[in-house]
Amino acid sequence: MKKPHILIISQHFYPESFRINDIAREWVRRGYRVSVLTGIPNYPGGRFFPGYGFSKRRKENWQGVEIRRIPVIPRGHSTIGMVFDTFSFAASGFFWNLTTKQEADLVFSFETSPMNQVLVGCRYAKKHRVPHILYAQDLWPENVITVTGLKNRFIISRIDAMVDRIYRGCDRILVTSPSFAEAVKNRRVPVPAEKISYWPQYAEEFYRPMEREEAEAELKQAAAEGAGAALLQLIQDTAFRITFTGNIGYAQGLEILPQAAKFLKDTKTDTDRPVRFVIVGDGRNRQGFLAEIQKLGVEEWFHMIPRQPAERIPAILACSDAAFLSFADSPLWEKTIPAKLQSYMACGLPVLAAAGGETARIIKEADCGLCCSTGDARALAERIREMTEMTQESRTRLGANSRAYCTVHFDKQKLMDEMEGWIAG
């Protein structure tokens, strides 16, 4: 039986680093024809990637995936730039829908904020009378209210109406946590429960435990090829290394780390093991984060590494003692299971977290690390000290628990098999 032709609608796609890249590649491996409608890549740096532009590489084939790029205004580094970027994709998608001869049997919308990008998929599915699956990474309007502080009731009501329209225009809505599923089901305009499914994010196969010797060799090679001396400094560091990887934005609440470092510094004893926070990545709040580190006088506690290819993260984690994640203080983030949690667990690392809700639940269920309340820097410092005082055997056990839980609950092949059932329909 011939498998359907899947059209993915996603504002972000390769060479931008999002998990939809791997989903598309896996569908090709399983025998599907896959087309993608996306924007010109500019995330997270805010400028078009080298070799891409309004007249460059608007069509390409990547590992069997047919990619078509529609014009967007690059996001830059300002809030207004982000607004223009996101609305330009929706506007370009509207005109693309009027003229396209693209044929497909099913639409799969991968929703990163903002949600208006999904309207492109809704219009295509309605016009061509094909099924539409939405994979929602964020809740709206909750996300925009939390991130921007928006309080204008008229604007919020218009966003709510748009979200209602999108949910009505989808045949199945996949969400990344059980709490998201409840929130969608219990909206002011309820969404039928049978239409909603919890489909957690998985970690790609390259996220795996690595032997220290193998990891060091990879990082040395990367440094020799121009990736920077920061990778060599990580290898040589003898402190207890707690690593964060990913976007340095406002939602991550990373200011808790310099605050915890200040508490550890002020209460340091002769028997305390030195601690280093390894921060790998970039984002809109990087400068604010660095300013907080400087203000509190804890520069020596931090090691900054520029954004790295996702495939290099397992080697960096293998040269670390624990992995870290946190959120800003908001009820919304308690409903979230961040993708980096699966990546950390797949690499078999103990997890330190300043988070509640779904993240805290998973860490407790898996018995894979230590967690404190969101924003509680003193409690985080105490958890850090507790982990540094553990025996290596205890930390190894936590890492093994991470990997075991990930294998059971976030296995890629099992989840993709489940997805095939929905596609078949």
Residue 264 domain flag:
yes
Tokens at residue 346, please? 């797949």
425 vs 419: CA distance, rounded Å: 10
- Are 237 and 191 in a shared domain? no
Report DSSP state, residue 355.
-
Residues 6+ apart with CB under 8 A from 350: 321, 322, 323, 368, 369, 370, 387, 395, 398, 399, 402
CB 272 within 8 A of CB 388: yes
Asked if residue 293 and residue 197 are part of one domain, the reply reads no
> pLDDT at residue 334 above 80?
yes
Number of domains in the chain: 2
Q: Are residues 107 and 156 in the same domain?
A: yes
Check whether 83 has a pLDDT greater than 80. Answer: no
> In terms of domains, do 171 and 257 share one?
no
One domain, residues 62 and 106: yes
**Over residues 196-220, mean pLDDT:** 95
- Asked whether residue 1 carries a pLDDT value surpassing 80, the answer given is no
* Residue 218, Ramachandran bin (φ over 0: left; ψ between -120 and 50: alpha; else beta): alpha
- 224 and 188 part of one domain: no
Whether 243 and 384 map to the same domain: the answer is: yes
Give Cα 221 to chain centroid, integer Å.
27
CATH of the domain at 325: 3.40.50.2000
Q: Are residues 177 and 223 in the same domain?
A: no
pLDDT at 101: 93
Please report whether residue 24 resides in a domain: yes
**Same domain for 294 and 394?**
yes
73 pLDDT band, cuts 50/70/90, is: very high
- Residue 248 within a domain: yes
Q: Is residue 285 part of a domain?
A: yes
Provide the pLDDT for residue 107: 98
Task: Name the DSSP class of 231.
Answer: H
| Average pLDDT of the chain, as a whole number | 94
Give the pLDDT score at 151.
86
Residues 261 and 187 in one domain: no
| 137 belongs to a structural domain | yes
pLDDT tens digits along 124-160: 999 999 999 999 999 998 888 887 788 889 999 999 9
Do 236 and 324 fall into the same domain? yes
**Same domain for 94 and 238?**
no
State the residue range of the domain holding 232: 212-409
Q: Is residue 207 part of a domain?
A: no
Largest CA distance in the chain: 71
